[in-house]
Amino acid sequence: MKVNAICFRLSWTSLGAIACFAVLAALDLKLKAESGYGAVDLQKSASPGALQSVIAAWGSVRHAAMAGFGLGFDYLFMPLYGFAFYYGTLAARDAFVTKSAILRRLLTFLAAVPLVGAVFDAVENALESWMVFNGPTSPLALYAYSATMAKFVCFYIGLFFWIVGWLGVFRRKPAPA
């Protein structure tokens, strides 16, 4: 893939991810302020009792609608941040790795890590939604918590390379005319 195509895709996916994140963060802050629990609290819940506390706090129609919209809207955020981080890693690779074939392959492989994280995020949301509607169980709570932790590892790896990729984009000098 050409460098200009990577920068173009990095820009648009990053803008989309940032916009989605802003909506999710505002919604979650409002939900937490009103009910005492936000989506992050649901994600950090590793036991059925903790999940039940969050679900009970979202018992009103308003809070349930806000939480449901947030869980659903997160599915739009997942591919945007996954691909933004993917293109950020490719931009980092192209900006900072020139000769080393092994390092280029490693960064190409690491570019897929945020996409795997987005899949873990989808699994996490599906499990959380299942537990909201059908009641939490210990195995499902553990699976959802494990998916959350795996997602966060992938997310932070992707975030690191996304930042490095943007540094590489701004470092790049225009080609002579």
Among 54-63, 71-80, 94-103, the least confident range: 94-103
The pTM of the full predicted model, rounded to 2 decimals, is: 0.90
Closest CA to 117 of 76, 77, 158, 75: 158
Residue 58 CA to residue 146 CA, distance in Å, equals: 23
Residue 110 confidence class, pLDDT cut points 50, 70, 90: very high
- Note the pLDDT tens digit of each residue in 118-171: 999 999 999 999 998 999 999 999 999 999 999 999 999 999 999 999 999 888
Token duo for residue 155: 């997310």
Mean pLDDT for the stretch of residues 31-35: 94
